[in-house]
Structure 1
Amino acid sequence: MRTFNVPTRDEVSVESQQLFDALEKKLGMVPNLYASIGYSGNALASYLTFQDAQAQGTFNAKQREAVNLVVSQVNGCTYCQAAHTTLGKMNGFTEEETIALRQGRSSDAKLNAIVGLAKSLVENRGRASEDKVEEFLAQGYDQAALVDLVALVASKTLANYVHNLFDFAIDFPEAQPLEEAINA
């Protein structure tokens, strides 16, 4: 299979260079995921805008990280598992909670409904199991929240697919493989 390098600032379009500069200023680095999406300035701009818009939606940062963890696990994206384990901990999750979330479960009823439905959406290509939809709605969420959840799943799936296709290096502390974490 062809090997793709993570592009440097000098190897991308002017549009991507400006986004790289903004990311460097905001994060102190340009994560390999964003750099690789930056092969297309349009895709990177769209992705970052979509992420920012979702931050204004139904779910808070901790809930979004829970979705990111389970979607990345189901999609087999080790890069995003690592990134969102780190970000999840920064948002208050313990290591054990990040592992449970990657499995699609939580001891918190609302989070359990969110990650259970997100997992079902990914596993069933959008045709979530009826019981997971009902569990989600029973937690007080409405149709707007349902669409916001689909948007989060879609956003993270894009990132997962970019990594799975390009297979670039993970620039976060690696997440423990789920099988090892469960047996530990």
Structure 2
Amino acid sequence: MKVLTAIGFEEANEQSKEIFTNIKKSIGMLPNLYSSMGVSDKLLGGFLNFSEIIKSGEFSKKEYEAIALATSQTNGCAYCLSAHTALGKMNGFTEDETLNIRTNSIADPKINALVTLASQMVEHRGHPSDIVIQNFLEAGYSKAAFAELIAVVALTTITNYVFHNGGFEIDFPKAKNIDQLQIV
């Protein structure tokens, strides 16, 4: 049952209307994900505030998108894969690199350590292997980055779950399905 459908401005409460207006001013559109989250101004407002705080932390925009791509791939979220592929490309990744991130096979060893940890965080429900953690730390990331990676995975998982329980369209260019790509 798809409970979380996108709501229009007229359906939103006053707090969500204000958030919707600010999103439109900021990015020029109101993504369906956010209009679905807006059914609860507490969810949408809290999510956006926490996201902004975490985005000012240890990771570059590029690294943040890499974590979001790895998380969305592991959680099987077509909406977030599409959104974060677009955002990843806007922040310097090529199309091929976004695909390699999703399979934990990107050539950059530091980014690969990052996405492997993010994927394992999801796959193993917060219990990644010691070797994956060690690789992350040896790649040059700090304990603060480890803590913030947990937050990025959690934030991305929220959006993944909203889409899984939502009845709304993907309003970004659709990401390629890696299961259908040919390995050469």
TM-score higher than 0.5: yes
Distance change (3 Å), C-alpha of 1:4 and 1:116? closer
Measure, in 2, the Cα distance between the counterparts of 1:2 and 1:141.
39
Look up the equivalent residue of 1:100 and give its one-letter code. Answer: N
Structure 2 unaligned runs (5+)? none
1:100 paired residue number: 100
Look up the equivalent residue of 2:124 and give its one-letter code. Answer: N
8 A contact 1:72–1:160 mirrored in 2: yes
Look up the equivalent residue of 1:138 and give its one-letter code. Answer: E
2:32 paired residue number: 32
Q: TM-score, normalised by structure 1?
A: 0.96
Identity %: 42
- Aligned to 1:166, the other structure's residue is in SS state coil
Structure 1 unaligned runs (5+)? none
Distance change (3 Å), C-alpha of 1:117 and 1:17? same
8 A contact 1:69–1:81 mirrored in 2: yes
8 A contact 1:99–1:181 mirrored in 2: no
Look up the equivalent residue of 1:73 and give its one-letter code. Answer: Q
Q: TM-score, normalised by structure 2?
A: 0.96
Look up the equivalent residue of 2:130 and give its one-letter code. Answer: E
Which structure has more relative contact order (CA 8 Å, sep 6+)? It is 2
Measure, in 1, the Cα distance between the counterparts of 2:65 and 2:121.
16
2:173 paired residue number: 173
Instruction: Note the alpha carbon deviations across 1:75-118, whole angstroms, 9 max, x for none.
Output: 01000000011111111111110001011232111101100100
Instruction: Note the alpha carbon deviations across 1:134-163, whole angstroms, 9 max, x for none.
Output: 000111222111101000000000000000
C-alpha RMSD of the superposition: 1.3
- Aligned to 2:36, the other structure's residue is in SS state helix
Alignment size in residue pairs: 184
1:159 correspondence with 2:159: yes
